[in-house]
Amino acid sequence: MNGVHDMGGMDGFGKVEVEANEPTFHEKWEGRVMAMVRAMGAAGAFNIDMSRFAQERLPPHIYLASSYYRRWLLGLEGNLVNRGFVTASELTVGHASEPAKPLKRGKFGIDDVERIMVRGKFGRTAQAPAKFRAGDRVRAKNIHPVTHTRLPRYVRGHIGVVERDHGVHVFPDSAATEAGENPQWLYTVVFDGTELWGADSDPTVNISIDAFEPYLEKA
Amino acid sequence: MSEHDHDHHDHDHSELSEMDLRVRALETVLTEKGYVEPAALDAIVQAYETKIGPHNGARVVAKAWTDPAFKRALLQDATKAVSTLGHVSRVGDHLVAVENTPERHNMVVCTLCSCYPWEMLGLPPVWYKAAPYRSRAVKDPRGVLNDFGVSLPKEIEIRVWDSTAETRFLVLPMRPKGTEGWSEEQLAGLVTRDSMIGTGFPKTPGAPS
């Protein structure tokens, strides 16, 4: 979806502000939110793409005005309510009143912590041969899906070069909407800065994205 | 009370913030419904506060600086190479190491959210997840580097890696001059978090830290 989360190339947000000796969490609740998202995801309440999509669907003014972990909390609450794991009234009251919905991988307990210290596996078996190979000129399709996609707006319609292939991965556009994993080839595609930002841009800059095959066409 | 004090108030204070209460309510509901064990949440928080951080990536970089065969393996398949260093960190699939050279400087961003090599660098700093960096890194990387006090020769190529999939990128910075004969451990002490994102350089020997 063409949301405010898709920030590449936007102007007006100002300078990067670096905090010296930044703590891992600024508030205790931030750590609890991070841990709950990881735990409920690992237990099977939602996948990582649903997690991202829930944040992207926040109203733009809420997304922009919320701190990072507040967005995580709003996304988590949204996913849990929409998917029937909790009700809005339980969240308001602060206690459970409805029966629990079974989790795909069961309760998340202390013995499950070690396995989530390593990221999940997203590589899958190829369903078809790769359409592109390193060196191919490709165009990022001019598409505007209204649901989750990992094709940023700033490359759409532009020509780049395939630099490497990463094999076949879970396709986020499908996984986010419960349409299955629909595995697709994934490539690093490099664009010249001038191709994306015009003749006045810095000629020494190249930008790459990792693009799933359905995002690309031969150029 | 100033704005700053309000944002960073003491958690032993009896007055809990709206966010504290809201998050506590959610955790209570999830616990009562039998979805999560609070002790497991404690363990996750503790791991990111104490075990997983840029020191993991620093050891990988220092090893690459001292062991040419490891460096080749790292650039070929970083997941596989790092997994041979049992003492560093467990690492997920699709880690990609990208090498800075005198001709090319690499910089990593996630314009769409906050993808970051957690296992190598820990959780990302606030600036990495915030709009100024995410919006400008792909359009004006030299301007962004200026915000970090970093200036590169104008002819050097800047390659920006937008982390749009489940691949994760680790920048392999150039080894500082004047470190001939240094041990891996000494070298690891020079490797900064930002040098592995591409928004900074390793520390210089002898310079104040």
In this structure, what CATH number is given to the domain that contains residue A195? 2.30.30.50
Domain count, chain A: 2
Three-state DSSP at A193 gives: helix
* Domain co-membership, A135 together with A108: no
pLDDT of residue B208: 58
Asked whether residue B15 carries a pLDDT value surpassing 90, the answer given is no
Q: List C-alpha distances in Å: B186 to B25, B63, B121.
A: 47, 11, 18
**For tokens 């090319």, what's the residue?**
B104
pLDDT of residue B87: 66
* Domain co-membership, A131 together with A162: yes
Segments forming the whole domain that contains residue B128: 52-197
B45 touches chain A (CB under 8 A): yes
Q: What is the mean pLDDT of residues A71-99?
A: 98
Instruction: Please report residues of B whose CB lies closer than 8 A to that of A64.
Output: 131
What is the DSSP track for A57-101?
A: TS-HHHHHHS-HHHHHHHHHHHHHHHTTSS-HHHHHHTS--SPPP
Asked whether residue B9 carries a pLDDT value surpassing 80, the answer given is no
Asked whether residue B2 carries a pLDDT value surpassing 80, the answer given is no
Give the residue numbers of B annotated as catalytic, written as ranges. Answer: 110, 113-115
Final residue belonging to a domain, choices A117, A144, A170: A117
Segments forming the whole domain that contains residue A40: 28-117
**Helices A48-56, A68-82: inter-axial angle, 10-degree rounding:** 110
In this structure, what CATH number is given to the domain that contains residue A81? 1.10.472.20
Query: Does residue A142 fall inside a structural domain?
Result: yes
Tell me how far apart the alpha carbons of residues B209 and B205 are, in angstroms, rounded to a whole number: 9
* Domain co-membership, A110 together with A129: no
At B186-204, the pLDDT tens digits run 999 999 999 999 999 999 9
Residue of higher predicted confidence among A154 and B2: A154
Closest CA of chain A from B184, distance in Å: 24
pLDDT category of residue B11 using cuts at 50, 70 and 90: very low
Q: List C-alpha distances in Å: A173 to A23, A41, A53.
A: 34, 18, 10
Query: Does residue B121 fall inside a structural domain?
Result: yes
Query: Does residue B75 fall inside a structural domain?
Result: yes
At A175-198, the pLDDT tens digits run 999 999 999 999 999 999 999 999
Q: What is the mean pLDDT of residues A85-98?
A: 98
A124 touches chain B (CB under 8 A): no
Question: Between vectors from CA B22 to CA B20 and to CA B23, what angle results, nearest 5°?
Answer: 65
The residues, ordered by sequence, that sit 6+ positions from A177 with a Cβ below 8 Å of its Cβ are A53, A147, A148
A17, A39, A96 ranked by CB distance to B40: nearest: A39
Q: Would you tell me how many other CB atoms lie within 10 Å of the CB of residue A107?
A: 17
Final residue belonging to a domain, choices A117, A134, A163: A117
Q: Interface pTM (ipTM) of the complex?
A: 0.97
* Domain co-membership, A73 together with A101: yes
At A42-56, the pLDDT tens digits run 999 999 999 999 999
Query: Does residue B152 fall inside a structural domain?
Result: yes
* Domain co-membership, A100 together with A143: no
**Furthest-apart CA pair in chain A: how many Å?**
61
* Domain co-membership, A160 together with A110: no
Tell me how far apart the alpha carbons of residues A2 and A164 are, in angstroms, rounded to a whole number: 27
In this structure, what CATH number is given to the domain that contains residue B90? 3.90.330.10
Asked if B131 and A152 come within 8 Å (Cβ–Cβ), the reply is no
Element containing residue A218 per DSSP (H, E): strand A216-218
Query: Does residue A3 fall inside a structural domain?
Result: no
Asked whether residue B6 carries a pLDDT value surpassing 70, the answer given is no
Query: Does residue A9 fall inside a structural domain?
Result: no
Tell me how far apart the alpha carbons of residues B59 and B56 are, in angstroms, rounded to a whole number: 6
Percentage with pLDDT > 90 across chain A: 97
Query: Does residue B119 fall inside a structural domain?
Result: yes
What is the DSSP track for chain B?
A: --HHHHHT--TTSSS--HHHHHHHHHHHHHHHTTSB-HHHHHHHHHIIIII-SHHHHHHHHHHHHH-HHHHHHHHH-HHHHHHT-TTT----S-EEEEE--SSEEEEEE-SSS----HHHH-SPPHHHHSHHHHHHTTT-HHHHHHHTT----TTSEEEEEE--SS-EEEEEPPPPTT-TT--HHHHHTT--HHHHHTSS-PPPTTS--
Query: Does residue A20 fall inside a structural domain?
Result: no
Three-state DSSP at A168 gives: strand
CB pairs under 8 A between A and B: 262
pLDDT of residue B14: 55
At A108-135, the pLDDT tens digits run 999 999 999 888 899 999 999 999 999 9
Secondary structure in 3-state letters for A139-161: EECCCCCCCCCCCCHHHCCCEEE
Query: Does residue A110 fall inside a structural domain?
Result: yes
